[in-house]
């Protein structure tokens, strides 16, 4: 009797076993996209045209060059130099430097005037709107100096806006110590920060919110320079053919308007208390 019952159910069990769902496949490993490699660059005080082939052979991504005051002994970035760098596929980072090592130079008025002259030099080489001009603070600025530096960048903001007819064509970057970069960027007075290679300066070792970080010279390059690395977007630019052909490369015309009244500077107490 038991044998007969099992015999009757055996075909049904066999069919059920054949219709059982297959085992799910093992989960696929999710490969996270790799973060882009930092861009490699150099900054140099002299015209890069003569060494552009050497820069290209080293697989450099960008070259940082300077806008200068009219009385500077160092050459400013010119239209012909910018065209040459761009034609070789190199990006350009523009930085203004004038009396940047002297704490007495930093005031609202000097920031306004520096911004106006930097703007005119940028337009003279056809630097595209929306890219950045970095402004250098080239000394170890401690807490007592930050109010004057804040005023200086307030002047830069006002000067760029005035030069652009009410709206700034260029974004602002700050070059300096970790303390300066952190203060000015977190205050909203700069969108980019370039950390100096002077790591003994205030706040520099622990500062990580940089867009560009300066390093030591590369041993295999024959000219005077510092190395740099950049992450994400850092305000660089290239000249396209039409922009490059429209820039004359002639002498700059310096006509600096008088600054407008200084706006109130946002200086949160929380920022001040966190600085050395």
Give me the residue spans of the domains in the chain. 39-273
According to the model, what pLDDT value does residue 232 have?
Answer: 93
| Average of per-residue pLDDT across 122-150 | 97
* Tokens, residue 199: 């790591």
What separation in angstroms does the CA of 156 have from each of 16, 96, 113, 136, 144? 80, 11, 8, 12, 20
Q: Are 126 and 92 within 8 A, CB to CB?
A: no
* Tokens, residue 131: 């890219």
190-243 pLDDT, tens digit per residue, is: 999 999 999 999 999 999 999 999 999 999 999 999 999 999 999 999 998 765
Name the least confident of 70-79, 139-148, 188-197, 239-248. 239-248
| Average of per-residue pLDDT across 11-25 | 53
According to the model, what pLDDT value does residue 240 have?
Answer: 87
According to the model, what pLDDT value does residue 275 have?
Answer: 40
According to the model, what pLDDT value does residue 212 have?
Answer: 98
According to the model, what pLDDT value does residue 25 have?
Answer: 59
pLDDT band, very low/low/confident/very high, at 274 (cuts 50, 70, 90): very low
* CA distance from start to end of the chain: 94
107-135 pLDDT, tens digit per residue, is: 999 999 999 999 999 999 999 999 999 99
- Residues 82-104 as b or e (16 or more Cβ within 10 Å = b): bbbbbeeebbbbbbbbbbbeebe
If you average pLDDT over every residue of the chain, what do you get? 84
Q: What is the pTM of this model?
A: 0.79
According to the model, what pLDDT value does residue 21 have?
Answer: 57
The fraction of the chain above a pLDDT of 70, given in percent, is 74
pLDDT band, very low/low/confident/very high, at 10 (cuts 50, 70, 90): very low
| Average of per-residue pLDDT across 137-164 | 97
User: Which class would CATH give 39-273?
Assistant: alpha beta
According to the model, what pLDDT value does residue 124 have?
Answer: 97
* Tokens, residue 217: 């010279």
């Amino acid at each position: 009797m038991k044998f007969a019952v099992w015999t009757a159910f055996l075909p049904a069990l066999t069919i059920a076993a054949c219709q059982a769902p297959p085992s799910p496949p093992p989960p696929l490993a999710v490969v996270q996209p790799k973060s882009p490699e930092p861009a490699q660059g150099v900054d140099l005080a002299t015209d890069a045209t003569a060494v552009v082939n050497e820069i290209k052979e080293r697989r450099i991504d960008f070259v940082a060059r300077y806008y200068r005051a009219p009385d500077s002994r160092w050459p400013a970035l010119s239209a012909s130099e910018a065209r040459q760098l761009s034609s070789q596929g190199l990006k350009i980072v523009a930085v203004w430097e004038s009396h940047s090592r002297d704490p007495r130079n930093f005031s609202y008025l000097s920031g306004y005037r520096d911004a106006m002259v930097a703007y005119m030099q940028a337009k003279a080489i056809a630097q595209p709107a929306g890219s950045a001009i970095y402004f250098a603070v080239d000394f170890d600025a401690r807490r007592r100096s930050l109010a004057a530096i804040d005023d200086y960048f307030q002047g830069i903001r006002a000067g760029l806006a005035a030069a652009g007819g009410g709206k700034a064509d260029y974004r602002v970057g700050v070059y300096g110590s970790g303390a300066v970069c952190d203060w000015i960027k977190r205050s909203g007075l700069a969108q980019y920060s370039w950390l100096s290679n002077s790591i003994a300066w205030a706040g520099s070792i622990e500062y990580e919110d940089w867009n560009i970080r300066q390093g030591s010279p590369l041993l295999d390059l024959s000219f005077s320079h510092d190395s740099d690395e950049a992450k994400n977007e850092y305000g660089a630019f290239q000249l396209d053919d039409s922009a490059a052909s429209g820039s004359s490369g002639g002498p700059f015309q310096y006509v600096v308007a008088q600054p407008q009244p200084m706006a109130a500077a946002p200086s949160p107490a929380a920022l001040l208390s966190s600085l050395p």
